[in-house]
Structure formats: C-alpha cells, structure tokens
Structure 1
C-alpha cells in the first residue's frame, strides 16, 4: 500500500464541527484525544519538517500520546503534503489531508477540525511566525478553564518584530473597523486578527461556520459559546523561509467577513416581530387619542401624552409575550415585569425625544424634505428602541438558568 493512500479523507458539505470526528472508522472515533492542532499549509515545504519537529517535542513534554497534529494542505505546487506524509513514519501522531477542490486557510482549519479527535482544537501557522513555545502557555489557559485561548500581539509580552509603519497601521485600522461593525465580538479580543489559538470543541459543536478570507478567530468568537477567553502575549516573528501570503485581498475579505457576521448575528426574526408590534402601537395610539380628545374632550397635550403611554404599554405587553417571550419566560415574577416595563418606557421616551431632534436637524439644518426627514427619523428610532430594549429591558444575562 502506498504511503500516500493513508491521507485523511476530505470532509464535504457544511462547515460544521460535530461532537465526534467524521470520516473515521468506529474504532478510531471512540479513541478521543485531549488535543488536536491543525497546521494549514500552502507551499510550506521548507518549513513543515521543522514545525512538526518542534511541536511534537513541546506536546510530548506535557501530553504525550494525547494529541495529534493535522497538516491540511491545499495541494501545494511544492508538494508540501507529500513531505508531510513522509514525516508520519517518524511522527505517528502526525496526520495529513490533501485538499484538491476547496482552497483557503479558514476552510482548511475547519476541515481539519472536522476530522480531529481532540476535545480541544487548535490552529497554528506553519511558517514559524507563530512561536511554537507559546503553545504551552495557551494550553495552561485551557487547563485553567478557558473556552478560548488566544495568542495576542497586543497584550503584555506581545508585539511584532519588523513590521513596516504601513502594515502596523493597517492591522490597527482593521481592528478599529471591527469595533465599529462588530463591537460585541471584536471588543472581547485584543488581537482579533490572530491565527494562533485553541478552542474547546464543545464551544463550537453544531455551529455552522461561514468564514471569509484567511482569519477564523472572529467567526469562532462570534458564533461559538465562548464565556472565558484567555490571552497570551507573543511576538510575531518574520518568516524564516517561503513567501508571505498577506495581500490587499485579505483585508477586503476581512471587511466582507465582518459584514456577513454582523448580518448573521443581528436578530432579524426578533427585529421583525418588534416592528410588527410597533406598527400595531400606532393604531392603538391614534384610537386612544381619538377617544380622549373627541369623546371625552380632554386637552390636546394631555390626550397625546396619555395615548402615547397606552401605546407604550400595549407594545410592551406584546413584546414581552411574543418578541422577547423566550427571555421573559425565564424572568418570572411581577417585580421583574414591572422593572422591564419601566426600562421599556425610558428607552421609548428617549427615542421619542431623539425622533423630534432628528426631524428638526434633517429639516432645518440639512434641508431634507419634512416627510422624508420623518421617515428617516422613524427608521433610526426604531433601530434605537429595538437595540436598547434588547440590551437593557430584556437582557439575556438576567435570565435564570
């Protein structure tokens, strides 16, 4: 049998990590390991032997026999996959996958994780720019209970060796852009562009992953069940052999990834329900206003205030039962409901003030048509009301487990 016939089969279909590895026999599936480290490669023939040697020595010192190294190669012209497969004779913990159809670092990592047997999954570059010895510190973070352990250039002990001013600017600029587009994810990471980390398998099991480009950490943090993140400083080294693969295309893909993840993580279904409830509140407001003003003869201002409050209460009740029902059902008790109502009132009344201010600014300052200004203000305030009610009135963190 040829040495190359023992290559790992390449998974196909959805990019999702299961609780057990795919493409293995039942005997192998039942023999789980503590750790699986993916080494994605493309034209890394000059580095693959060295990286495998160093990683094997490091992991043998802490978890001998309880780890595997998986080289996932995108059919490199320099035959990296062949060189790696030849190393399996010397390093039995090494396994190799050759991909001939799919391309890209992020998907290579996921395909590797899909066949991995480890309870903890990791990734490291093959070019030795990620110091292998940092692996031991990342492992300690996982041992202490972290769901995700990240090697960071932007914490104590971290940095870059010989980056140009332009590259430093682009790296920091990418992080700032991420904070604007995806603050709840990027804000948790000091180095969201890191490609050197470990994650618990349980944290990403069953989560469909959809990375764009060559970075996957943001995808894992955004879609996974990540509670505790540990960070370890490292100095990014200059490449010892081979050519750098960083191009402008990678920065464009990074932006595309942020936007896709932003849209996917936005609770669209919940927002649509919130909009339907808000639309119904318009008719409640007008109906009550008619009764108070025309039937009962109350003053204009008093009628407007009372009708608005009735509409707010109507909207709150429907949102509490329907839009955010899954959350409020775990926050039982009249006291908590009243607390949610008061917060809802504050957010909505603040939105009303913003509506008036925005209409006046658009119409009086920018000269926008008054009806168009009103529509813009309604759209902006609807987003305001939804987002702040989601984060304040119906906070998931208040739910009783």
Structure 2
C-alpha cells in the first residue's frame, strides 16, 4: 500500500534542549507556524521508531478518547527517528483524517528522550505529555492523568507500582532488573527517585511552566528523571496502570538502557560538577565511567578465576601465577567491551581485523604494565599487611584503573582520532 506524501512535516528544532515558557516562544529551527497557531490545552508526544504496525491504531484510540474530553483543544505530535519502515510517512498520511495530528521526521538526531523534548519544543499545549506508540501504555489512563493535572498537580505519572498498577507477562529476570534499577536509583539519587513510585515510567504529563527554562540533558530512555531532577516540580500525582505486552514490532529495551539509566543518575547527582570537571581538565568523564563499568565486568572475571585457580578448595595454585592468568583473561574481556562500547566511536573509524589486533596488542601491553603494578600491590597488601587476598585484589585493581584508562585513551585508540 502506498501513502500520499504531503510534505507537511514539522521542522525539527536545533540547539539546546530547552522548553519555552510561551507555547509560541522562539526556538532555534522550530516550526515557524507555531507563532500564528492557536495554543491548546494539551500536547501529547508519541516518539516512534519502526512502529508502522501500531501507528494507525494508537492515533485512532487517542482521538476517540480525547475528542469528547478536550474537543479541539489538544494535539498529537509524532516524532519519528527516521524509521527504516517509514513510520513517518504513514503518520503523515493520517493527518488527512486527523487534523489534530502533527508529524516530525528527525534525521540528524536519535533517542527517545531527545525526541520527546524536541516534540515539546514545537508543542502548543500548556500541558505536555508522552506516551509510547507500541500500545504498552493503555491510552485510557490519559484521562486520569489529565484529571490530576487539572486538579492542581504539576506532574502526573502513570505508575506500575501503586494501586491498580502492575505488569502483564514480565519474566522474573525483568522484574528483578526493574526493581534493582529502582533500588540503585534510591541509593544514588534519593531526592529525585524517591519522589515517585515508578521513576522509570515513560508515561506521564507535566505542566509546561514546571519544566520550561532549564536546559535539559537527558540520557537514554528515562526522561522522567530529567523532568523531576531539573524541573520545578512541587505537586506529583500517580495513577496506577498495567504495563501491556507489545502487540506489533520488537521491544527496544536492552542492557544498554540500564547502563544509560545509571549514567543518567550519576549525571543528575553531580549537579553540573561532571561538566565543569570536563571543561576544566578536558577529562572525558563519561567515557571514563563507561571504562569503569567495563572494568567491573573484568573484576568479576578476575575474581572468579583467581578463586578457581588459587583457593585451597579448588586447584590450589600459587597466588602469583593464578593472578597473572586471571588478569589476562579479564584483559581480553575488557578489551572486547571497550572496543565495542567505551571507545566504539573511535574504533569504528578504523575498521578491520588488522586495526583491531593493533589496538588489542597496545591495550594488552598497557594493561600488562598495570598488571605488574597490580601484582606488586596485591603481594604487598596480602603478604606484608595481611589483608584478605580478595580485598587486597580489589584495592590493587582500583589503584591501576585510572592508569589503564588514561594511557589507553592516549595510545591504544589514539590512531583512530587522527583525521
């Protein structure tokens, strides 16, 4: 089936991710029609990527709900990240049937959080909301959220963890990861995460005046953290909902989203100190955090092998030999992850097995130099100071982590920075 191409797409804003206080406010690169458009009470952003199987149904469902509740006083804005399945073309064709629908097709940026903010930047509503296009967020909950805002709340959140909330068919592992992420958030940033029962919710609405002004800097999928952490949110209401299973398309939740969630918490916790540190010392803090997280996986590999090789209940090998073998396996583990993730933007510029082998040899030599220091420190702490071998090993690893990161950044992946 072919769809009419209307070329009536919203222009994507550029510059900082900042919401104007006035719905017709000036935004770099934003759609200029906003200046003459009538403000509406409610603007709902629907970020999409490969959602052609769901888009028609979600628009029809939302329209059926909102037309009698807010007649001619709302808008739906689809923000599509250049979907390979051409979701934006289907959405644009729907504007002939649904005049309240507007479509933005992004080609220069990607990511759910920034998609939502770009949509809010061109929105005309005094209330700004977001809902997934995959039907996992029940549309009927919108009316309850709107009632909460109309009764005075600054932020209304659909929650899986209050009365009436839950998940439909989640595995035990996914439930564990979700709850674990929330617990970790309470430890790192209790002042933000502790204000809502479901800080990882992607289904909510907020008053424009409560979020307008600050420059937003979201990371990953969890934009609610950014709204609470940087907005002027006083009153929060929560409405229970049951998270539904996807009917069409594929889930976009991966392990990467959990890592980005942790990094986002750290960024909010720093209150700008990380950015100032980066500017003052030109130190790539974000890359170092990724390097450290990879290092944690290496610690697990290292400690496990050290136990299997050296403990008297297993092979009972001599400590130094066991440490060298365990460390080398951990080095290989760390290189693979760092080459793919920590320095992935750099290594992608130097493709091929020869280039990867060169990076691995450099990485190995630098880490072996760190290993010499690590072994010396391990024996010092264990044999001289009598510290438990595993605690001594953790201390030694921590002391050489900064060395390994900085030298690897300057040498192992240096060639990929040359233009």
Q: TM-score w.r.t. structure 2 length? A: 0.62
Q: What pairs up with 1:134-213 in 2 under 5 angstroms?
A: 134-213=141-220
SS at match of 2:115: helix
Give the distance between the partners of 1:26 and 1:125, measured in 2 at CA.
Answer: 26
SS at match of 1:231: strand
In the other structure, the counterpart of 2:19 is 17
Q: Are the structure 2 counterparts of residues 7 and 26 from structure 1 closer, same or farther at C-alpha, using a change threshold of 3 Å? A: closer
User: Any conservation in 2 of the 1:138–1:198 contact (CA below 8 Å)?
Assistant: yes
Give the distance between the partners of 1:198 and 1:67, measured in 2 at CA.
Answer: 13
Quote how far apart the aligned CAs of 1:25 are: 3.6
User: Any conservation in 1 of the 2:54–2:135 contact (CA below 8 Å)?
Assistant: yes
Residue by residue over 1:282-337, the C-alpha shift from the partner in whole angstroms, topping out at 9 and shown as x without a partner, is xxxxxxxxxxxxxxxxxxxxxxxxxxxxxxxxxxxxxxxxxxxxxxxxxxxxxxxx
Bigger CA drift: 126-135 or 259-268?
259-268
User: Any conservation in 2 of the 1:15–1:210 contact (CA below 8 Å)?
Assistant: yes
Q: Are the structure 2 counterparts of residues 176 and 118 from structure 1 closer, same or farther at C-alpha, using a change threshold of 3 Å? A: same
Quote how far apart the aligned CAs of 1:4 are: 3.5
Task: Find 1:37's aligned residue among 25, 44, 47.
Answer: 44
Structure 1 unaligned blocks of 5 or more: 270-365, 369-401
Q: Are the structure 2 counterparts of residues 112 and 27 from structure 1 closer, same or farther at C-alpha, using a change threshold of 3 Å? A: closer
Q: Are the structure 2 counterparts of residues 139 and 121 from structure 1 closer, same or farther at C-alpha, using a change threshold of 3 Å? A: same
1:46 matches 2:53: yes
Q: Are the structure 2 counterparts of residues 102 and 26 from structure 1 closer, same or farther at C-alpha, using a change threshold of 3 Å? A: closer
Give the distance between the partners of 1:99 and 1:70, measured in 2 at CA.
Answer: 13
User: Any conservation in 2 of the 1:29–1:117 contact (CA below 8 Å)?
Assistant: no
Provide the aligned C-alpha RMSD in A. Answer: 2.0
1:244 matches 2:251: yes
SS at match of 2:153: coil
SS at match of 1:65: coil
Q: What pairs up with 1:2-401 in 2 under 5 angstroms?
A: 3-19=5-21, 20-21=23-24, 22=27, 23-25=30-32, 28-29=35-36, 31-264=38-271
Give the distance between the partners of 2:134 and 2:194, measured in 1 at CA.
Answer: 28
Quote how far apart the aligned CAs of 1:64 are: 0.8
Higher-Rg member (1/2): 1
Quote how far apart the aligned CAs of 1:61 are: 1.6
Quote how far apart the aligned CAs of 1:207 are: 1.0
SS at match of 1:71: strand
Quote how far apart the aligned CAs of 1:5 are: 1.9
SS at match of 1:69: strand
SS at match of 1:6: coil
Q: Are the structure 2 counterparts of residues 219 and 3 from structure 1 closer, same or farther at C-alpha, using a change threshold of 3 Å? A: same
Give the distance between the partners of 2:248 and 2:80, measured in 1 at CA.
Answer: 17
In the other structure, the counterpart of 2:360 is none
User: Any conservation in 1 of the 2:47–2:78 contact (CA below 8 Å)?
Assistant: yes
Structure 2 unaligned blocks of 5 or more: 277-384, 388-419
Give the distance between the partners of 2:72 and 2:84, measured in 1 at CA.
Answer: 32
Q: Are the structure 2 counterparts of residues 27 and 153 from structure 1 closer, same or farther at C-alpha, using a change threshold of 3 Å? A: closer
Give the distance between the partners of 2:62 and 2:134, measured in 1 at CA.
Answer: 13
Bigger CA drift: 21-30 or 203-212?
21-30
User: Any conservation in 1 of the 2:52–2:87 contact (CA below 8 Å)?
Assistant: yes
Aligned residues: 271
SS at match of 2:69: coil
